[in-house]
Amino acid sequence: MGAVWGLGPVAWPPEPIKTERLVLREPETRDRAAFIELLASPEVHTYLGGPRPRDELEREMSGAPEQWPGSFAVNLDGSMIGQILLRRAPGHHRPAAAGKVDLGYLFLPRAWGHGYAAEACAAALDWFDGVLPGEPVVLATQTANVRSMRLAAKGPGSTRTPEGVPGELSRM
């Protein structure tokens, strides 16, 4: 087991994290098709700069999806429906988040509207708080992304839009 890159002394991968309906675990080879679908989806990437070309993804992801600390595949009934990411935020993109841990998530459109993102984010944050208690976590989204704004407002901690950083929510 290795330490989570940029998060500190956290063993990786953890045991799968189980919720009432979901399992969060390290990505595996069987997730390849779902990852390609996720990264090539125009709906998923509406607020993320647009999708990647499917043929490019097929070439680059010849085997298992990248397995790196802080990346969880989210499974429902044995099939991947999304991804949760926890990683140290680089300061050059969002100065207000520099040095804090960034929570990111992507879910396939067929998984939207069922509360899976909220359930998976809560489970990932519970795990994170257990291994690094008190560490601040930041979630950044565009204010136009109503679904993400709604999800951020449901979570624990405070939500704010820092001055001069439109669309960034901090959960601390």
Confidence of residue 30 (pLDDT cuts 50, 70, 90): very high
Which CATH superfamily groups domain 2-171?
Gcn5-related N-acetyltransferase (GNAT) (3.40.630.30)
Mapped onto helix, strand or coil, the DSSP state of residue 155 is coil
In the chain, where the domains are located: 2-171
In a 13 Å sphere around the CA of 29, the CA atoms on its Cβ side amount to 2
Cα separation, 101 vs 89, whole angstroms: 6
pLDDT in tens, 5-25: 467 778 888 899 999 999 999
pLDDT in tens, 102-155: 899 999 999 999 999 999 999 999 999 998 888 888 887 788 888 888 887 776
